[in-house]
Structure 1
């Protein structure tokens, strides 16, 4: 394989910001869309008459279309570059937000939510592709961490700020505002981001000649033993984190911890704040440890994921309820340690050829969001196995079983990763 890097290019602060900020705004909105249903869930349940399974399906529709587009997205990113692809897709996300605001029934909500997922499907992968093109590989873990921080800020905006905004408008008004912001983001990506590195003209800008060659790159990724050693552990941690934070953390705080919606929104804010801190910390730590002592990013990732699993065990077993003052600490630790699962993206992008970076990252993302779709819907289906409480909430036993099963799957993935020590990354 050709692993020759592009010639070095002086990266000024102005150029770095032109590359980074538009993609960061897009990912901010992507995460806001992903998490906002955790706050507006009571309104959706009341207005649309949703049970837990339907609420899970509605919210998870975002992940289904997001995942379905990942393989063609990787090919498009490697062919035509991140600027054009993300700008075009964000227009679809804006349309989906407008349809969500107008939706008269549940099927229309599901359709609109799916269109949003399709529209934001490039927000992370386009950024990662652009950063591989523009930044030195030694900086990828750090700049990827900053990108994830932007998503974390979007998750923050989807919690208490949205709860405050609901005092002035309803959930439909929130989505009209999101539609407008998404169009602004699309324009920013298209008109601000440089189309390509000047030194790459005539070289990396040439698309692969045939679709067959592009699909061969997909096959290279998905038949790699290295990819499949890393994927289960990375994918499960990110899918579970995404599905729980994006919806079920809010209902858990109301149904199991017994919080009102205002206090639950406050807790969700601090969980998202811990996630922002985690994205910054893990990216910085991985970059420094690799540069100064040669510690592999996957070593850092595994340590963080194990901590994430320990925290999940205290929540799934409801041990934290015996010490109510620790509920916030446990959930903030959930948000902080979960972010270590993003490090394998940078780790894998460093060992595959640069021209496959889009397909490597979208391959992981495909698996993450397929599983997030299944997880988010399945958690609701498990919760529905128990009758609703007298107050109209969901039974704590359903959360225990659902979260416990997900934790067990992660333990299996950790054993799989540890058993294949002959492959190093």
Structure 2
């Protein structure tokens, strides 16, 4: 049930790319306006990430995800009925707020129900299942747009969200029956954990690396991947959507494969460096090479999709680089930073296009961000897949020899 809610959230994140042409015509939105519309989801998701973590810590996964799914469904209903660009903007705002709680809730659920040494595997499976929603937002949605309006599609998605929210309330439990209850945190501990996370030198190299892989890919696949092909290569919306669908499929499978592979090898940094380098190569290829639609284009889209699977390793490495007491907060900060970058890149990309510049200049923006990500990996710490020890809650008495 939780994976279903996460899957639906990924659908809302990437559906604007496939629906861009219909949204633009119906709402009279240019490239910059369309980029801003799609970015509201990312901005709200980013802003709500840390408060969502505090809510889940206080009230648990079950009821927080139930409410989050209801908010996501409300956003889908609002977007489906919007008659203006201003009204439509409320839809992505609500879906971003709802999905932020869903993400934190499912990560907390995984920590409660699965063993720590399986973190890479479980995170990979979670991301693979969620990516199925992004895949549905690609070619299947493009095919549906040939038979139904975008408003009908988003209305159906809203109804599915309502059903899932009820299912979560009925089925999900916060922790196994045999697990001990979590201690109640002191009021100031959440903000103290946030300050500690922000001061951690381990956070920032991982954040920059993930911006170069996932921040760029989410912005591109979420909006500009399809218009690039329809406007510069003359492909139909349905055929162009197959490219982003393929990239998202590679991303989803890669999240699982890289998580299992890294757990078995017992290393994180080589995978961070490899995926960051692949992202840079993919964006430089899209920006500068004279590629054609077909296998060349599919290959480049697949490269940036494969690089984005780094997120599994980034989450694992950060969890192992900070004390367990602030791991959830640190993960929220990392995730928020990635989506803030995506929210900024979408309208910036559209601004470059609206200025009359070649699409290659907009793609060069992505290449520059990914190059910075490659450089940042040099400052990341190898964790050897081993978590740090917990912070002692009381001073340890000295023992005389």
Common fold by TM > 0.5: yes
- Residue pair 1:23, 1:189 contacting (<8 A) in 2 also: yes
Match of 2:270 among 299, 307, 316: 299
Give the drift of 1:157.
0.6
Alignment-derived partner of residue 414 in structure 1: 374
Task: Give the unaligned 5+ runs of structure 1.
Answer: 1-21, 291-295, 387-394
For 1:92-111, list aligned pairs within 5 A. Answer: 92-111=71-90
Match of 2:101 among 119, 122, 142: 122
Match of 2:328 among 343, 358, 380: 358
SS at match of 1:208: coil
Q: How many residues get paired?
A: 383
Alignment-derived partner of residue 392 in structure 2: none
Moved more, 240-249 or 128-137: 128-137
Please give the alpha-carbon distance, in whole angstroms, between the structure 2 residues aligned to 1:318 and 1:184.
Answer: 46
Give the drift of 1:105.
0.5
1:372 maps onto 2:342 in alignment: yes
Please give the alpha-carbon distance, in whole angstroms, between the structure 2 residues aligned to 1:214 and 1:356.
Answer: 9
Give the drift of 1:112.
1.5
Cα distance per residue 1:110-159 (max 9 Å; x no partner)? 11111111111123222222212221111111110011111211111111
- Residue pair 2:72, 2:94 contacting (<8 A) in 1 also: yes
SS at match of 1:314: helix
SS at match of 2:355: coil
Please give the alpha-carbon distance, in whole angstroms, between the structure 2 residues aligned to 1:64 and 1:155.
Answer: 19
- Residue pair 1:77, 1:358 contacting (<8 A) in 2 also: no
Match of 1:329 among 296, 299, 303: 299
Alignment-derived partner of residue 401 in structure 1: 361
1:57 maps onto 2:36 in alignment: yes
Please give the alpha-carbon distance, in whole angstroms, between the structure 1 residues aligned to 2:255 and 2:32.
Answer: 31
1:237 maps onto 2:197 in alignment: no
Cα distance per residue 1:40-72 (max 9 Å; x no partner)? 111111111111000000011100111110111
Alignment-derived partner of residue 382 in structure 1: 352
TM-score (norm 2): 0.91
Please give the alpha-carbon distance, in whole angstroms, between the structure 2 residues aligned to 1:147 and 1:240.
Answer: 21
Give the drift of 1:199.
4.2
Match of 2:194 among 208, 218, 222: 218
1:313 maps onto 2:290 in alignment: no
Alignment-derived partner of residue 142 in structure 1: 121
Please give the alpha-carbon distance, in whole angstroms, between the structure 1 residues aligned to 2:18 and 2:112.
Answer: 37
Please give the alpha-carbon distance, in whole angstroms, between the structure 2 residues aligned to 1:280 and 1:79.
Answer: 30
Q: CA RMSD in A?
A: 1.8
Cα distance per residue 1:263-322 (max 9 Å; x no partner)? 1122232222222221222122112222xxxxx22321221221121111111114323x
